[in-house]
Amino acid sequence: MLVNLKDMLCEAEQKGYAIPCMNTPNMETLRALIGAAEDLNTPIIIDHAEVHNSLIPIERMGPEMVKAAKAAKVPVCVHLDHGVSYTFLMKALEAGFSSIMFDCSSLPFEENVKRVKEFTEFAHSRGITVEAELGVMASAMEDTHAGEDAEKRVLTNADIRKFFTDPKEAGEFAERTGCDALAVCFGTMHGIYAEPPVLDIDRVKEIRSAVKDDCRIVMHGASGVEFEQVQRAIDAGCSKVNYYSYMAKGATQFCADKIAETKGAVAYHELAEAAYEYMRGYARDVLRAFRNGK
Ligand SMILES: [Zn+2]
């Protein structure tokens, strides 16, 4: 069934677990993620990233996501990931998404507040939940979110501290905008990590206590972070955790191995189907890890 973020994350936080939010830029990923959630009878958030639109447009993939969510035996939130332009936010609404991330994090604080507040009022009047971002999510190597023009440079753990979310600002931001979820920065990056990430868990705790209870804290860039650290971030208050790049990387390696093993004697549709099964298993591991037995 199709649900928005609010009820899903409220229950997760009360029970002390997190729900993964994972990109679905093709049918294999979409089937894998919903299948994994059904296998474990647990909710899941699937999303379409604006930067994946050059791979498959939201007009094509969005209705498939919504249809699959409605048909699922478990609660599924269909979310827009890092929506930046108003045109794109409207496309997500038209496709029937139940939740939208409006990312104005590159703008000054006051402008971020103004735009998110305005959009949240509009979205809430239609029963849609809103995620915003405060701080800057840095791009690591091979950032699948960054698009082709992204600056390719290697950032270290020390480099990104200046982008971390300020807890006091986070509290004020949530209060003034009324957003349902807030993506914050405390040591993760998008993409493939150049060195093992080190999370500032105390920062998450400070943010959680500064932000009003009905605004959920979101962690982006969780893939590539060891599960033990992700679980500590969940315990500290993150109830929505975005996870994608390393599953995609894993599926690529799986396909490469399959091609080598069969010496290329594998049809594309068989390879795609095997990759779907691989990702379904991978997503089950992520779901289990984020629930930590709950
Ligand atoms: Zn992100």
Tokens standing for residue 290: 């984020």
Beta carbons within 8 Å of 95's beta carbon, 6+ residues apart: 58, 59, 62, 63, 65, 66
Coil, strand, or helix at residue 205?
helix
Domains in the chain, please, with CATH? 2-291 (3.20.20.70)
Compute the average pLDDT of residues 239-255. Answer: 95
What confidence score (pLDDT) does residue 291 get? Answer: 87
Percent of the chain surpassing pLDDT 90: 79
- Ligand 1 midpoint to CA 253 (Å): 23
Q: Which pLDDT score is estimated for 142?
A: 53
| Distances from the Cα of 78 to the Cα of 26, 72, 101, 173, 281, angstroms | 14, 12, 11, 24, 21
Tokens 């060195």 -> residue:
195
Angle in degrees, CA 217, 221, 223, rounded to 5: 115
Q: What is the pLDDT of residues 215-227, one digit of tens each?
A: 999 999 998 899 9
Cα gap 44→30, rounded to integer Å: 11
The sign of the dihedral angle between the CA atoms of 133, 238, 186, 37 is: negative
Q: How far is the CA of 203 from the centre of ligand 1 (A)?
A: 18
Contact (CB, 8 A) for 63 and 95: yes
Structure token pair of residue 84: 């930046």
Tell which wins on pLDDT, 282 or 292: 282
Contact call for residues 120 and 68 (beta carbons, < 8 A): no
* CA distances for 132 relative to 15, 33, 159, 195, 196, angstroms: 23, 24, 23, 27, 26
Q: What is the pLDDT of residues 47-104, one digit of tens each?
A: 999 888 999 999 999 999 999 999 999 999 999 999 999 999 999 999 999 999 999 9
**H helix intervals, 16-81:** 27-40, 58-71
Sign (positive or negative) of CA dihedral 125, 128, 129, 134: negative
Region 244-260: mean pLDDT is: 95
Q: What is the pLDDT of residue 223?
A: 86
Is 76 in contact with 83 (CB distance < 8 Å)?
no
pLDDT at residue 207 in the model: 97
Q: Which letter does DSSP use for residue 285 in this model?
A: H
Distance 247 CA to ligand 1 centre (A): 15
Q: Of the spans 3-17, 139-153, 240-254, which averages the highest pLDDT?
A: 240-254
- pLDDT at residue 147 tops 80: no
Question: Tell me, what's the pLDDT at 141?
Answer: 56
Give distance in angstroms: CA of 50 to centre of ligand 1: 11
Residue 224: the pLDDT is 85
Do residues 40 and 288 make contact, with C-beta atoms less than 8 angstroms apart?
yes
Cα 190 to middle of ligand 1, angstroms: 6
- What spacing in Å lies between the alpha carbon of 89 and ligand 1's midpoint? 16
Cβ-based burial of 124 (10 A; exposed 0-12, middle 13-18, buried ≥19): middle
- Contacts of residues 124-127 at CB distance under 8 Å and 24 or more positions apart, as own/partner, are 124/178, 126/93, 127/4, 127/98
- What positions carry a catalytic annotation? 81
82: CA distance to ligand 1 center in Å? 6
The pTM of the full predicted model, rounded to 2 decimals, is 0.92
CB atoms within 10 A of CB 271: 16
Q: Which residues contact 215 (CB under 8 A, 6 or more apart)?
A: 174, 179, 180, 181, 182
Note the pLDDT of residue 159. Answer: 78
The tokens for 278 are 């691989």
Which tokens in the block code for residue 114?
Answer: 């103004």
Average pLDDT of the chain is 92
Gap from CA of 138 to ligand 1 centroid (Å): 9
- Highest average pLDDT, of 5-9, 163-167, 252-256, 287-291, comes from 252-256
pLDDT band at 151 (very low <50, low <70, confident <90, very high): low
Residue 126 CA to ligand 1 centre (angstroms) = 24
> SS3 for 119?
helix
